[in-house]
Structure 1
Amino acid sequence: MGKAQVKKRTAKRHNPIRVPDAHLGGGRADGKANPDKEKQLLPVLEKLKAPEAADRTWACAAVGNLINEDAAMRRLFQSRNVVGALIERLSDDVDDVVVEASGTLRNLAIDGGHEICGEMFNKGIMPHLTALMGKISGTIDNVLAGTAKELPEDEIERRGHLLALTENVIMLVWSLAEASWKTLEAVNAAHGEGLLVKALQGRDQLSPGVALAAAQALFCLTHDNMPFSSALLAQPNALPVLVGIVKADHMPAERDAKGKGRAKKSMDLEDDETADGRALLTRVLIAGTLRNLVDPGSSADSKVGIATLTNEVILPLINGLLDLDLAQAAERVTQLVTEIPKDGPVLGKDVKVDHKSTAEIKLERVERLLSTVGVGLEILTSICAGLEDAVDEDMEEDGADDDDMDETMGDEDLIARGREPNANGTAAAAPSVNTAATLPHLLSTLSLPTRLLTLAQLNKLSLPPHGPNPSVHPPTTAALSVVHLRALEALNNLLISTSAAVMGGEQLAQLLPPAMWEGVFAIVQGTGEDAAALKAKGQEMRLELMEGALAGAWGLSKTIPAAAPQGATDMITKAIPVLRIEAAARAVDTLASLAARPSVTIEENAAVAQWLVAALTSQPNAEMMVALLNAVIDIYADEGREYDQPVFVANNMIGALTNIVARVRSESRKIDRRKTPLLRARAEEAYENLVAFIKYRRSL
């Protein structure tokens, strides 16, 4: 159960800069909006259709400021069709109105996530975006051609407004692509790949924000999205532009964006010396885009050389992100929050969507750095995924069930008809491992196990508080949670690849520090200390992180089981009831490895045996049944182990197993072979192994 490596995310992903509503607290406890803000709702909505362009511009910006990070106020505006009204303003005759409307819609998409993006799509935003993308693309062509200086002043001003739209429109496209398969198909059909490449190609003439938005959109749109990827590869200059960005040092752009003589290469958290971060994030996102886009051995690979690029450029780039002190970041954010002006932006005539205080700008820089680390970890997760995909022959349908078998046959009759021990072949071959970089380099030279586990450790801002009060800074909490999870995913893939290599005879276990056990269990304890929070709305990341840490424990149990601390199995059995099915089954496999480790005590082994038998007799679901049976057989397959007589024999476990043979057979036959062929095959194999195991133990 532990071999499920994370390679690419096929399900819809959270927008990496979106803060979940449940983190925000504004209106969460009682569902009521801020009364002071609510008084301004109707006047603002009325001015969205005012005859004066200045009033319409003001209203678009005012909506954005009123609903910023306030879920209740946003829903109140939604109930008055603010989304539809703003979409109408995208076709306004005045450029200022279009710019502010698109900026507010962009912020709505980021804050509201999938729900509000779906509403935008249903209310017809795509035709407006498609038209705007055409205008923007033509403007960028003129900018790249250097014709702007030859135009009259009013035309240059109009072009400036259109360029101001670019970041907003691209970010809307990105958010819609993240929302659902339906919206993703609409984005694919809009054929915006040419615009995105132009935005990156003209990054020096445009702005860091435009280039970053294009990079974010490309990273999203190339995730297992063949229609878009094929269209992008068909752009003649796409690959040269992308490779050029990845290979070029980002520091000159950071220095220029910062407006100072230098920018610190370490990207530390000091106030005035922290680089803007947009050029670095852009470079990391494009690195991920290339790894999404270029398959090893493909025609595109002949132009890029993705393996060489990964080892010589991408991996060193990501390596430089892995030593960020997240606890220090949390302290810095807590301090900056106290510096934010208590009074929000005044909704005067000069209000803008992106009006921010100095402290808020600094907070954005920290958030951007956390996002950069998260994206880097996502790329590293792919790099560490080294198991070769193999066709599972058990998934092939092997004919009809044994319909002639008497359904009333008892346990002993089924055992008698079952296969003999060792009757059907040899041990499974070790899986093939092929990581982008060598495992010794990842494990030892880069010290990834320790560094990834450090990034996964929780701090005071990692999770939203369980209760009516929000985090002191919800965006940082959301970003930290993602960093922790991505670190655990990368670590899990690295440990899976390492365990497979160890099975193949490679001497790599000594490269894993024994203290890693304490690190993964610290996360399990930290996420599970409040049992009620694990099931509360808005606390979903707690369970994600707990399951990620236990996945790491699986990898450690296959590589350095002897280093597991006493009581490890007890912690795992206590966690299993709250886990989802797949994670629970993997945790059972971890239990089996730990219960059979050389240093296990008879008492600990007996406690695991008692738990396994109790779980088997409680009629578990099919997947857990398979995991439990495999665990028992794995632990007690060797009758020579010191715990066998005092635990397996003394407790008559063979009798308990005999009494469930018929039920196991019945449950395996209930699994629909057409809907879940792999589970059916595994259940049938577990049944056959159970019968053979009982025969073998009896023969002793």
Structure 2
Amino acid sequence: MAKSKPRNRNKNRTDPSKPIKPPSDPELAALRDKKILPVLKDLQSAELKTRSAAALAIANIIEDTKCRKLLLREQIVRILLEQTLTDSSLDSRAAGWGILHNLAIEEEADFCVHLFRQEILTAIGGIVRSITETIKSDDPPLFKLPVAQQKLLWTLTSSVLGLLTSLGEAQDEIAQEISNNLDLVAFLFDVLSLNGSPPATQSEALSCLTALTEDNKNLCDQLAASESWLLGLIRLTDTGGLPAVAACGVLHNIFTCLQWFDHNTPKEGTSDSMLVPVLTASMDEAGAQEDGMNGNASNSEQILKLALEIIASIATSLQEALEHGSKFEKTFEGFDDKAEVTNGDDVMDDDEELGEVDEQENEDEEDDEMDEDEMEADMERVLGNGPEDDGNGPEEVTLDRLVRTAAPRVLALATPFGTSTPEQEAIRLRALATLTNISWTVSSIDFSSGHLNSLHTFWSALAQKIWDELICVVLAKNTADIELASTITSLAWAVCRSVPGAFRPTEEHWKFMSLYQASKKLAVSRTNGTKPGSDEQSVDSFQTLGVKTIGVLGQLALHPASVELNREIGVFLITVLAGIPETPAADAVEAMNQIFDIYADKSYAFDEAVFWHDGFYDHLEGMLPKAKNMTKGIDKRKFGELRARADEAVLNLGRFLKYKRNEKKQKN
């Protein structure tokens, strides 16, 4: 990464003493005079009640884009940092932090970077110390404070936690600064361990930890080294509801970052395998609440979305775990290096909360401390270590639970049902993407050794159900929803790869061909009428609907497909290549790769009947010069991956033609 240019700290800096010019737009100028300036004046009033009322009023108008931009123009951040956040009134301070939190949510990441440069972490450190003193105080204890004051304190805490999350997500440098501040990290666990901490606030703390622990080895090492912190997170997974799911997200980040896989973990059971049952149980509970229209529907949707997101990530990282295991565990023989994993992206229980202790024990601080043996025993109890009944080796527990436990639940959420709300449809799309990740992971397993026969049988039946009840149903509706079509095509590609030759399409292959034609029209519309080939050199060129449909069709044409089906798909692929240079380069690359796989073996029934009889060889030989020109036209400096893969495909095409010529001579 190139070094950034030194910043000119004086350039374009507004002089606080210099009057700010009103906007030239009459509507904005009127809004500024009537609404913005008066409330900012009140925010700096000498009257306590006036300041508090103004802070609350500003917090309520932040979501309005025009008001927000005007407030920023009038230096609301400077006023907050210099006055409101240090106000003598807790009401004003809480509202001020709420304003900053909302601004961070509504604005781009640059806003958080600006706050960081204004040393916002120093201000956060001060308010965190104040909050910690209050929640840990015995004089008076938190639960004896007035209810209104307790509510205000938790509102303030949530705002600070939310702001920390936004800051951590904005830039790696900021995340590291937060992670290196042990007081801030300890504050997160103080919130989690406090008896009576609201579930929503716990979830905020866990969201912050999730953001900070992503690809952050230093912090993950710290959390893993503190057995009390790690044990606290594991205990939280037993509490149910959103905090349990959010705790799974933090633990998954730790396990992934530190490579705590099933076969390679310092404590047996501390891997993603322990998270899958928690996530599926939470999904079942949230789904039941949603179906029964009981409880908080919004909270149930949060649980489902987050649980699906974590399961999808577990599925993606599982391939790395299997690769890692194959290097150290000779007993595992089920990984196929050729496959790639792709990402296509409450109701609380009454269980005791994290760190809950009896009041009588609190009277004696020494009783609160565990010795090493007690801590070890408690960890064993929480992990539930004991005889496994999975029937697989310890290195395959996550895979087994992902396939047998998680996949059927995810399928249930992804299956079409009657009329649905936009929120339910969003969950369904996420479930489809999660099922795709699981399918891609399964497609990377080599089941030929036979030691996973039971799992393979289970998955094969489930894959057929996915094809019949989900993929075929969506295709039959001829949906005009491009996002749904792209997602279902990703799933079809992954499922077909996971169980090669298992599906016998009736008309589904025609549906995918129609989707490919639709993808070409979509490409034209995106490029304002220019040829589709001008859009293929995008960052996601190999994730387009066109590439996905080619991938699905290629899998359906593989042996033991019928000669008729193979011919129909083969002609389609040859036609795609015949369209060069109008055909997008990524589409052409995928079509060539599929042809190489389909016609790789002369023993297949369709080799002579289709490849040679229908003149595929001649067509491929004739388009080779066009393919070479297409590749040369890709700027390798701008589109390195596309150029590299196109070069490889064209090189392989020459080799493939030579191989088929020699194969034909030997046969004759």
Query: TM range, normalised to the smaller chain?
Result: 0.5 to 0.7
Q: Which runs of 5+ in 2 are unaligned?
A: 1-26, 324-335, 342-393, 524-539
Q: TM-score, structure 1 length as denominator?
A: 0.65
Paired position in structure 1 for 2:186: 194
Of 315, 322, 347, the residue aligned with 1:384 is 315
Paired position in structure 2 for 1:59: 54
Paired position in structure 2 for 1:500: 444
Of 597, 600, 607, the residue aligned with 1:637 is 600
Paired position in structure 1 for 2:618: 655
What is the alpha-carbon distance in structure 1 between the residues aligned to residue 509 and residue 152 of structure 2? 62
**What is the percent sequence identity of the aligned residues?**
24
Superposed CA deviations along residues 403-428 of structure 1, whole A, max 9, x for unmatched, are: xxxxxxxxxxxxxxxxxxxxxxxxx8
* 3-state SS, counterpart of residue 211 of structure 1: helix
Alpha-carbon spacing, 1:57–1:526, altered in 2? closer, same or farther (3 Å): farther
* 3-state SS, counterpart of residue 322 of structure 1: helix
How do 1:246-261 residues align onto structure 2 when only pairs under 5 Å count? 246=237, 249-250=238-239
Contact conserved, 1:49 with 1:56, CA < 8 A, in 2? yes
What is the alpha-carbon distance in structure 2 between the residues aligned to residue 77 and residue 524 of structure 1? 47
Contact conserved, 1:281 with 1:368, CA < 8 A, in 2? no
Note the C-alpha offset of 1:97.
0.6
* 3-state SS, counterpart of residue 444 of structure 2: helix
Contact conserved, 2:216 with 2:257, CA < 8 A, in 1? no
Q: Which residue identity is paired with 1:499? A: S
Q: Which protein has the bigger helix share?
A: 2
Note the C-alpha offset of 1:324.
6.0
Contact conserved, 1:133 with 1:169, CA < 8 A, in 2? no
What is the alpha-carbon distance in structure 2 between the residues aligned to residue 366 and residue 39 of structure 1? 39
Paired position in structure 1 for 2:511: 571
Q: Which residue identity is paired with 2:465? A: A
* Structure 2 residue 588 is matched with structure 1 residue 625: yes
Q: Which residue identity is paired with 2:514? A: K
What is the alpha-carbon distance in structure 1 between the residues aligned to residue 632 and residue 598 of structure 2? 26
* 3-state SS, counterpart of residue 149 of structure 1: coil
* 3-state SS, counterpart of residue 397 of structure 2: coil
What is the alpha-carbon distance in structure 1 between the residues aligned to residue 213 and residue 40 of structure 2? 38
* 3-state SS, counterpart of residue 692 of structure 1: helix
* 3-state SS, counterpart of residue 384 of structure 1: helix
* Structure 2 residue 452 is matched with structure 1 residue 452: no
Superposed CA deviations along residues 160-217 of structure 1, whole A, max 9, x for unmatched, are: 966652221011111222234465455446552222122223x215443332211110
Alpha-carbon spacing, 1:289–1:502, altered in 2? closer, same or farther (3 Å): closer
- Bigger CA drift: 605-614 or 287-296? 287-296
Paired position in structure 2 for 1:94: 89
Paired position in structure 1 for 2:387: none
Superposed CA deviations along residues 341-361 of structure 1, whole A, max 9, x for unmatched, are: xxxxxxxxxxxxxxxxxxxxx
Contact conserved, 1:431 with 1:504, CA < 8 A, in 2? no
User: What is the count of residue pairs matched by the alignment?
Assistant: 538
Note the C-alpha offset of 1:244.
3.3
What is the alpha-carbon distance in structure 1 between the residues aligned to residue 264 and residue 322 of structure 2? 24
Alpha-carbon spacing, 1:314–1:186, altered in 2? closer, same or farther (3 Å): same
* Structure 2 residue 278 is matched with structure 1 residue 317: yes
Paired position in structure 2 for 1:424: none
What is the alpha-carbon distance in structure 2 between the residues aligned to residue 287 and residue 296 of structure 1? 10
Alpha-carbon spacing, 1:207–1:328, altered in 2? closer, same or farther (3 Å): closer
Paired position in structure 2 for 1:240: 231
How do 1:245-644 residues align onto structure 2 when only pairs under 5 Å count? 245-246=236-237, 249-250=238-239, 277-292=241-256, 294-296=258-260, 301-302=265-266, 304-305=267-268, 307-308=269-270, 310-311=272-273, 313-323=274-284, 329=290, 332=293, 365-385=296-316, 386-388=318-320, 437=397, 439-444=399-404, 446=405, 448-457=406-415, 476=423, 481=426, 483-502=427-446, 504-506=448-450, 507=453, 508-509=456-457, 510-521=460-471, 529-530=479-480, 534=482, 542=483, 546-558=485-497, 559=499, 561-576=501-516, 577=519, 578=522, 580-584=540-544, 585-596=547-558, 598-600=560-562, 602=564, 604-617=565-578, 618-619=580-581, 620-644=583-607
Contact conserved, 2:62 with 2:99, CA < 8 A, in 1? no
Alpha-carbon spacing, 1:58–1:133, altered in 2? closer, same or farther (3 Å): same
What is the alpha-carbon distance in structure 1 between the residues aligned to residue 319 and residue 113 of structure 2? 39
What is the alpha-carbon distance in structure 2 between the residues aligned to residue 184 and residue 118 of structure 1? 14
Note the C-alpha offset of 1:121.
3.6
Note the C-alpha offset of 1:689.
3.0
* 3-state SS, counterpart of residue 437 of structure 1: helix
What is the alpha-carbon distance in structure 2 between the residues aligned to residue 590 and residue 301 of structure 1? 37
Contact conserved, 2:308 with 2:434, CA < 8 A, in 1? yes
Alpha-carbon spacing, 1:548–1:503, altered in 2? closer, same or farther (3 Å): farther
What is the alpha-carbon distance in structure 2 between the residues aligned to residue 39 and residue 527 of structure 1? 53
Contact conserved, 2:245 with 2:278, CA < 8 A, in 1? no
What is the alpha-carbon distance in structure 2 between the residues aligned to residue 443 and residue 226 of structure 1? 29
Alpha-carbon spacing, 1:430–1:649, altered in 2? closer, same or farther (3 Å): closer
What is the alpha-carbon distance in structure 1 between the residues aligned to residue 85 and residue 472 of structure 2? 50
What is the alpha-carbon distance in structure 1 between the residues aligned to residue 399 and residue 103 of structure 2? 43
* 3-state SS, counterpart of residue 542 of structure 2: helix
* 3-state SS, counterpart of residue 611 of structure 2: helix
Note the C-alpha offset of 1:224.
1.1
Paired position in structure 2 for 1:118: 110
Whose relative contact order is higher, 1 or 2, with alpha carbons under 8 Å and at least 6 apart? 1
Alpha-carbon spacing, 1:325–1:128, altered in 2? closer, same or farther (3 Å): closer
Alpha-carbon spacing, 1:157–1:179, altered in 2? closer, same or farther (3 Å): same
Superposed CA deviations along residues 36-92 of structure 1, whole A, max 9, x for unmatched, are: 999655543432222222122112222333345x55654565555555544552233
Q: Which residue identity is paired with 2:90? A: D
What is the alpha-carbon distance in structure 2 between the residues aligned to residue 104 and residue 513 of structure 1? 49
